[in-house]
Amino acid sequence: MAKGLPNDLQLLAGAARAVPAAAERTGRIAGHDRRIARAAAGDRQAAAELLGELLPRVRNLVRFLCPGDSEVDDHSQAALIEILRALPGFEGRSALTTWADRITVRVTLRRVRKSRSQQASLQPLDEGEIRDSTPPPDGSAMTRRQLAEMLDRLPEPQRQVLVLHHLIGMSVPEVAEALEVPFETARSRLRLATGRLRALCVDDGAADD
Amino acid sequence: MTERERLPAELSRLLTLEPLDADPGPAAPLDGAARRALIEGALANWAATGTHAAAARRPRTLAWLAAAGALCVGSAAAYYTAQPGGHFAAPPTPEDAEPLQRAPLHAPAPAPEPAPMAPPATPETQVTAEPPTAARPARAAEDLLARANRLRGQGRYRAAERAYLEVVQRAPGGPSAEVARIAAADLRLERLDNAGGALGLYRRALRRPGPLEVEALWGSARALRALGRPAEERKTLQRLLKRHPSAAPARSAQGRLDALSTTGSQGPWSK
């Protein structure tokens, strides 16, 4: 076993080097992608390739879900680990990316809840942290980042409801279940979040209405 | 009218997952070394906790862990030993004993004593202690590698360097340490204006060539160039091209080698 590892890791290193181009080029990972079965069977190279392609999406989703940049990579790595662990149970009925989105949401929310429970009170958003973050050079990325920063200005519960509903496409009952809140609470938060975001858009002149 | 329809059109356009596949998203950019470290950390955790199929086929016994080979052993050791307030049965090997100031990676928290380990404590025997829970290795991986990545992402390069070296010191010989060593070397070379220190780390990585040998060779060559040592740089580039002719930096390495041959120590190639 040990004898084969260096080659596997050599390939892993190659896969990791190839990540940026692959991740930016490709979109979804189909449910029937052969690497999924290989990774589920313990193939390290296949797992590394899949993680490399999933990583940008996972990080972006985490960033949409959480205020600021400081926890993005921690949460993302936890999500990747959970994705790998759950891979043998993936049935291929949807795109891997869609399935991975759900896991990322679950892991991130769990970690946010845990972090919140460890704090005496929710820390207010650190404006400086947001302003100091490095803006991506691309114009569309700036806009997307601005949107994330706008979401940072929403109360956390409202932000989560809005992201789960509008970004992930969960129904309100699904959102309520994911957040472990009553249906009416989820619906109310969604309504508030939507209204608040609209107001922020108007204030910032970022919206086109 | 649904809640979705009430969103401004511009936000609806951005609040979809599909564009995230093709366009840069809201997360801050991640450089190559941090990306590799993040992925490697996840993979190492996957292997160390025995959740991948290869491990699942085997009982997670002490005997298996002892026979798993230096790489898996090192990986497991990294996560079994690198706990908040954890214990390190064996000191780092001399080659890994970096003169570093130990960074307070996380607030020390009381942790249960690991199971008794058979002396003498070597990196291999450390892993004979089963972790109290499967979650401990995961936490350690996140606490160490991910924290180093985060510091790097925040532009706190010296703190990130210390954090990477902490990983090296805690788990010498493991894949996590290898990634961390290269990441620390890259920081020294590219951000901390310490080419000499970077060269030392790259060379340590090359003493036991592993999966990141390409990065170590390429880093060594760049460090040697920064130090103005063209003869050694040439040898390193030749070694890289001989051992990894199709690796990503091979083309640049060949270009630099050509430049060294034609113009002496200087050339158009830039680091």
Query: Which chain B residue's Cα is nearest to A9?
Result: B211
**Nearby residues of A128 by Cβ (< 8 Å), 6 or more positions away:** none
Confidence of residue A93 (pLDDT cuts 50, 70, 90): confident
Question: Of how many residues is chain B composed?
Answer: 271
Here the tokens at position A7 are 């080659």
For the domain made up of A14-119, the CATH class stated in words is mainly alpha
Closest C-alpha to A164, from A100, A102, A96: A102
Domain count, chain B: 1
Residues 6+ away with beta carbon under 8 Å from B104:
none
10 Å CB burial of residue A45 (0-12, 13-18, 19+) is buried
Chain A residues 58-77 within an 8 A CB cutoff of chain B: 59-64, 69-74, 76-77
The residue assigned the tokens 């640049």 is B252
DSSP B208: S
Asked if B225 contacts B270 with a C-beta cutoff of 8 angstroms, the reply is: no
Kindly tell me the burial class for residue A130, based on how many C-beta atoms sit within 10 Å of its own C-beta (0-12, 13-18, 19 or more).
Answer: middle
The residues spanned by each domain of chain A are 14-119, 140-209
Is A140-209 the same fold as A14-119?
A: no
Task: Summarize pLDDT for A17-35 with one digit per residue, the tens.
Answer: 433 333 334 457 888 888 8
Instruction: Give the type of residue at B95.
Output: E
Partner residue opposite A62 with nearest CB, options B4, B27, B42: B27
Q: B65 to each of A194, B44, B59, how far by Cα in Å?
A: 53, 14, 9
Instruction: Compute the half-sphere exposure of residue A137: CA atoms within 13 Å on the CB side of its CA.
Output: 1
| For range A165-186, the mean pLDDT | 88
| Contact state of B211 with A10 under an 8 Å Cβ cutoff | yes
Closest approach of chain A CAs to the CA of B262, in angstroms? 30
DSSP conformational letter for A207: S
Q: What is the 3-state secondary structure (H, E, C) of B113-128?
A: CCCCCCCCCCHHHHCC
Residue B85 falls within a domain, yes or no? yes
Cβ-based neighbour number of residue B42 at 10 Å: 28
B135 in contact with chain A, both atoms CB, cutoff 8 A: no
C-alpha distances (whole Å) from A152 to each of A68, A71, A72, A110, B239 are 7, 13, 13, 18, 50
CA distance A199 to chain B (A): 10
CA distances from B182 to A170, B14, B108, B236 (A): 41, 37, 27, 16
DSSP B96: G
Tell me the C-alpha distance between A46 and A38, whole Å: 6
Question: Residue B153's pLDDT is what?
Answer: 77
Q: Tell me the C-alpha distance between B145 and B82, whole Å.
A: 11
Full domain range(s) for residue B136: 30-91+121-193
| Domain at A140-209: CATH code | 1.10.10.10
Length of chain A, in residues: 209
Which residues 6+ apart lie within 8 Å of A174 measured at CB? A164
In-domain check, residue B42 = yes
Q: Do A41 and B15 touch (CB under 8 A)?
A: no
pLDDT tens string, chain B, 271 residues long: the values are 454 446 766 676 666 655 554 556 688 777 777 788 888 888 887 776 655 544 444 333 322 233 233 333 233 333 333 333 322 222 233 333 333 332 232 333 333 333 333 333 333 323 333 334 444 444 465 567 778 877 887 788 888 888 888 888 877 777 777 888 888 998 898 888 888 999 999 998 888 877 788 889 999 999 999 888 899 999 999 999 998 887 778 888 898 988 888 765 444 333 4
Chains A and B form CB pairs within 8 A to the count of 226
Whether B180 maps to a domain, the answer reads yes
For range A152-156, the mean pLDDT: 88
Confidence of residue A201 (pLDDT cuts 50, 70, 90): confident
Note whether residue B239 is domain-resident: no
Looking at the partner chain, which of A6, A80, A145 has a beta carbon nearest the beta carbon of B42?
A: A80
For residue B268, is the peptide bond before it cis, meaning its omega torsion is within 30 degrees of 0?
A: no
Q: Could you tell me if B55 and B47 are in contact, meaning their C-beta atoms sit under 8 angstroms apart?
A: yes
Question: pTM for the complete prediction?
Answer: 0.48
ipTM, two decimals, is: 0.70
